Amino acid sequence: MSAETLSSTDYIKHHLQNLTFGEKADGTWGLAHSAAEAKEMGFWAVNVDTMGWSVVLGLLFLFFFGKAAKRATTGVPGGLQNFVEWVVEFIDDSVRGSFSGRNPMVAPLALTIFLWIFLMNAMDLLPIDWLPMLAATITGDSHLFFKVVPTTDPNATFGMSIAVFFLVLYYSVKMKGVGGFVGELTLQPFGKYGLPANLLLEGVNLIAKPVSLALRLFGNMYAGEMIFILIALMFSGGAVLMVAGGVLQWAWAVFHILIITLQAFIFMTLTIVYLDMAHQEHH
């Protein structure tokens, strides 16, 4: 998609719209060709680009780590094995520092969350128009919606945070029992005489966990994507703005490396902390 063929407003809107598949108003199923049409598809619509890139990047993570596992040697390790061992050691240190219980699932989960989110965030470093233009060329639809950063879609971030939330609920009940979990929600912090206030405070605290996880990741990545889009608009403003845009794009990309890594780390760390809290019993 070229910024010269659209107004600035249309260019921004186009890059912020997902490729959505669902049931149209006339009862047929297909891809939405406008934001209004995507909205009409309702809850069961699927953002094809978000799902597609999430799966592809997840498989990419599994492929390289599986390849490193098959080629692992006790001798002089290769570059891929060195990298994988460094990442595993980093995750292991993070889990040991934040998780006080005993659960063999937590470290693999933390590894998966960190690398999967990092890879999805890293798609933001690709030039903003390359993959959308390639998709438009392949399909023959010059106005095809195609977002390549899954974490700029709240459906993806809420999907991951809700999965973590269900794990927190599961281990809370498993470790404390139904009575212990309900007691934790109703008897803290003011004791049995403050039950309504306890339930309100603890209930809000519980629900805030998945909401904050999802919105923090989405908000930071959405803002970063918006800045890249605004910088891309400068390339259609003449030679001076084109040079300035190139410098700004490089500078923001370098800074954005820190953001994509930090957001993956924060999501992973909070997941570990929430699971640690679910394993702790209060008396």
Strands (E), the chain: 20-23, 29-31, 46-47
Q: How far apart are CA 220 and CA 252, in angstroms?
A: 14
Whether 216 is catalytic is yes
Strands (E), 130-258: none
Q: How far apart are CA 63 and CA 73, in angstroms?
A: 18
Strand, coil or helix: 46? strand
Token reading at 45 = 């619509």
Contact (CB, 8 A) for 160 and 113: yes
Place of tokens 């005993």: 102
Q: How far apart are CA 80 and CA 169, in angstroms?
A: 37
Half-sphere exposure of 41 (CA within 13 A, CB side): 22
Helices 79-98 & 106-122 angle (0-180, nearest 10): 120
Q: How far apart are CA 214 and CA 219, in angstroms?
A: 8
**One-letter amino acid identity for 233?**
L
What 8-state DSSP symbol labels residue 145?
A: -
Before 108, cis peptide (omega within 30)?
A: no
Contact (CB, 8 A) for 34 and 7: no
Strand, coil or helix: 200? helix
**One-letter amino acid identity for 187?**
L
Point out the residues that are catalytic.
212, 216, 220
